[in-house]
Structure formats: C-alpha cells, structure tokens
Amino acid sequence: MTNTLLILPGDGIGPEVMAEVSRIIDWFGDKRGLKFDVSEDLVGGAAYDVHGVPLADATMARAQEVDAVLLGAVGGPKYDNLDFSVKPERGLLRLRKEMDLFANLRPAQCFDALADFSSLKRDVVAGLDIMIVRELTSGIYFGEPRGIFEENGERVGINTQRYTESEIDRVARSAFELARKRGNKVCSMEKANVMESGILWREVVQRVHDADYPDVELSHMYADAGGMQLCRWPKQFDVIVTDNLFGDLLSDVAAMLTGSLGMLPSASLGAPMANGRPKALYEPVHGSAPDIAGQGKANPIACILSFAMALRYSFDQGEEATRLEQAVEKVLADGVRTADLMQSEGTTPASTAQMGDAILAALDASL
Ligand code: IPM
Ligand code: MG
C-alpha cells in the first residue's frame, strides 16, 4: 500500500516547523524504508493571498484522497480584518467538517525534563498523561441557526448547540476504544445541569458504555468542575471525552498543565476510508505565533509529534511512532531547548533547525 501525505504548512511559524517534519519524513524513508508520497499545498492566510479563499477546492479534494493531512498553523494579524467567511481559521474548519473528522485526540503529556515549566507544582504534573477526545464536527461550532440578526431594533448574535445521538455515539466509541489501549478510564464532561444537549450527551455516553464497553470505567462530570479538577489533580484522568466547545477550552487548560504548548500534537480522525485507514488530519495544538514567525525560533516538537501520531493512527507504525517520541524525549533529557523552553536568560536557545538536527541525531542513535 502506498502512503500518501498532504502537507499544509499554513501561516506564521507553520512553514518553519513543517520544514523540520519534512526532514523527519525523509529520515523514515531513507533509514526505515517507510516511503511517503508527499504533496504540499496552501491553507489559511497563505491560501487567501493566492486564491482569495483560505482553502481552495482543489486542496480540499486532495485532502479527501490522501491517507493523512499534516497541517502547520493558520492565521496572523495581517488577516484579522478579513471578512469572517474567508478568515484563515475557516480553512481549517472546512477541512474538519468536510472530511468529517469527528474525533479530535489531544494528548496532554508532561515530559519529565519539563515538569518545572508548569505553573502547577511538579508532583501535580510530573508523569501526567491524559488524552482529551474532543468532538470536532458538530455542536455550537456548526449548529444552525447562527448569525447576527436584527431583533426589536438591536442586533442579536446567535449560535446553536446541537448534538444528535449518532454524533455522540461515535465520538464516545472513539474514547472507549482509546481508553482500552491506555488506562481503561473515561470521564465524560458536559453541562447536563443546564443544557438539554448535555442531558442527551450523558445518556448516550452511558448507553454506549453499558452496551459495548462495560469493562471500561466511566464517570461523568460537569465541564466547569472538570476544568477545576484538571487544575487540582489532573492525574485522576485518563481519557476525557467532551463536546466541541468544552473540548476547545479544556484542551487548552490541559495543555498548559504540561507547561509547554509548543510540545503538544493532535490528531483529528474520521471514519475509515476504502483502504481501511481513517480520514485523518494531524496538527500541533499551538497557533501560528506571528510574533516569532520567520526567525527560526519556533519549537518544532509539537508538529514533529503530530507526525508521530500519524505514524501510529494512519500508518499502523506504532513502533516507529514510539521511536520518534523517544528521540524527542532523549533530546529534552539531554537539555536541548528552544527559546520557549528556557527558564533563565544567558544561555543560547537552540534554533528550530538545531532542534530538528538533535532529533535526527537521536533517531540515528536509535538504530
Ligand atoms: C483549536 C483552535 C481552533 C478551534 C480555531 C483556530 C478555529 O482554537 O484547534 O483549538 O477553535 O477549534
Ligand atoms: Mg483551541
């Protein structure tokens, strides 16, 4: 089977961090015989500059065909005043929606070498390894009606939270399946105390559990309390499953627990394609960081670890994914640090490319 990849570097630091991923991809081709058929295209502001839209139809079509899409980041101040419909973020949202990537996997893992970066105490976060499964194609991000309307002589902004049973069912299954390969625990978060969509969410998650995953430990929590518990004692969680908006918030909270947003990857998965692989898009959790773009300062690790997730979830190369993750861990343990990972001034941080060099060297050493 061929392995096809579409690379969309996007805006800001996206192209710089993706350049390091490209070197890693080549390494797996050269040293591990894992060949990828790679194409590259534009997304976000970069696509807008050329096509007048943040994602061209041809790019969308290509994304539907490939085994995996790797995305850098989108957005930047240059595009802040664009019409809502062509903002860079709309390119990303179109990919998620049209590829039907309903399960967004956001691991929050605390690397031992970085435990002191967290704003929380070391023993609260050291060894932390949780996985947030965020529903990604429905809920208030996409529900209708939406818009800004005129009502009684003033404007009213409307968005709609909406979930069908089947939408809840499928993301719950993704969470239970993942839990079985990890700590076997799922905590589902909603606000069933105030929202009907939350009542339905809780009911369906419980039903899927009782019918098909009774071996997995399931608990439910209101999402606000969940946010609090994430800060109080995050190690109580293994897999958290939640809706699109709560997942957006809670995954940022969880990311910050690890102290290093520049480290966290994500996978967005949909239904299996004809070749059995899921529709998939991989991207770092961090944004386009326009303030440091083009300076070779950005940390490429989140994007590199996103490629590790692609190896695991799209290409069934779990061992090679682990090899790459261990190479990253080794480099951190050796003290290699990009600027975002430096606590004291005075020492010179590694550049984006130097971090890439160090990870490639650690990969070589793993053979
Ligand atoms: C994320 C981001 C996106 C979201 C934006 C860029 C549209 O915050 O992936 O978490 O809100 O989903
Ligand atoms: Mg977000």
In this structure, the residue with its CA closest to atom 7 of ligand 1 is 89
Annotated catalytic residues are 141, 191, 224, 248, 252
Dist. CA 365 → ligand 1 center (Å): 36
- Atom 8 of ligand 1, nearest CA residue: 248
Residue 299 lies in a domain: yes
Atom of ligand 1 nearest to the CA of 104: 9
Residue 117's pLDDT is 84
The answer for residues whose C-beta is within 8 angstroms of residue 186's C-beta and 6 or more apart is 175, 176, 179, 205, 209, 216, 217, 218, 219, 238, 239, 240, 241
Q: Residue 178, class by beta-carbon neighbours within 10 Å (0-12 exposed, 13-18 middle, 19+ buried)?
A: buried
Q: Is 248 a known ligand-binding residue?
A: yes
> Is 82 assigned to a binding site?
yes
* Residue 248 alpha carbon to ligand 1 centre in Å: 7
Pocket of ligand 1 from Cβ distances under 6 Å: 89, 92-93, 248
Q: Hunting for tokens 């950005």 — which residue is that? A: 298
Is residue 293 marked as binding? yes
Domain closes at, from 225, 257, 289: 257
The answer to whether residues 196 and 308 belong to one domain is no
Ligand-binding site membership of 295 (annotated): yes
Pick the ligand that lies closest to the CA of residue 74: 1
Query: How many angstroms separate the alpha carbon of residue 154 from the centre of ligand 2?
Result: 30
* 197 and 230 within one domain: yes
- Could you tell me the residue range of the domain that residue 150 belongs to? 129-257
User: 243 C-alpha to center of ligand 1: Å?
Assistant: 13
Mutate to test the pocket of ligand 1, among 92, 142, 253, 281 (most ligand atoms within 8 A of CB): 92
Same domain, 147 and 250: yes
Q: Is residue 112 part of a domain?
A: no
Ligand 1 nearest-atom number relative to CA 287: 6
Determine which residue's CA is closest to atom 6 belonging to ligand 1.
Answer: 89
Total number of domains in the chain: 2
Q: Considering every ligand atom, which ligand is closest to the CA of 106?
A: 1
Note the ligand closest to the C-alpha atom of 89: 1
Q: Are 322 and 365 contained in the same domain?
A: yes
Residue 84, annotated ligand binder? yes
Looking at the CA of residue 248, tell me the nearest atom of ligand 1.
10
**Which domain-ending residue is among 257, 282, 304?**
257
Strands 265-272 and 103-109: antiparallel
* Ligand 1 atom nearest residue 283's Cα: 9
314 by DSSP, 3-state: which?
coil
- Whether residue 343 contacts residue 60, with contact meaning beta carbons closer than 8 Å, is answered with no
How would you write 48-64 as a 3-class SS string? Answer: HHHHCCCCCHHHHHHHH
For residue 157, CA distances in Å to 84, 145, 147, 154, 160 come to 14, 10, 6, 10, 10
In a domain, 12, yes or no: yes
Please say which residue of 199, 230, 257 terminates a domain: 257
Give, using CA atoms, the residue closest to atom 11 of ligand 1: 248
Domain co-membership, 66 together with 140: no
Q: Does residue 119 sit within a domain? A: no
User: Locate tokens 């957006």: which residue?
Assistant: 248
Phi, psi of 166 (to 5 degrees): -70, -30
Report how far ligand 1's centroid is from the alpha carbon of 73 (Å): 10
- Domain assignment of residue 181, yes or no: yes
In order along its 367 residues, the chain shows pLDDT tens digits of: 789 999 999 999 999 999 999 999 999 999 999 999 999 999 999 999 999 999 999 999 999 999 999 999 999 999 999 999 999 999 999 999 999 999 999 999 998 888 888 889 999 999 999 999 999 999 999 999 999 999 999 999 999 999 999 999 999 999 999 999 999 999 999 999 999 999 999 999 999 999 999 999 999 999 999 999 999 999 999 999 999 999 999 998 998 888 777 889 999 999 999 999 999 999 998 899 999 999 999 999 999 999 999 999 999 999 999 999 999 999 999 999 999 888 776 688 999 999 999 999 999 999 9
Nearest residue CA, atom 1 of ligand 1? 248
250 CA distance to ligand 2 middle (Å): 9
The answer as to whether 117 is a domain residue is no
Q: Report percent pLDDT > 70 for the chain.
A: 99
pLDDT digits (tens, 9 = 90+) for 310-343: 999 999 999 999 999 999 999 999 999 999 888 7
Q: Which CATH number goes with the domain that contains 204?
A: 3.40.718.10
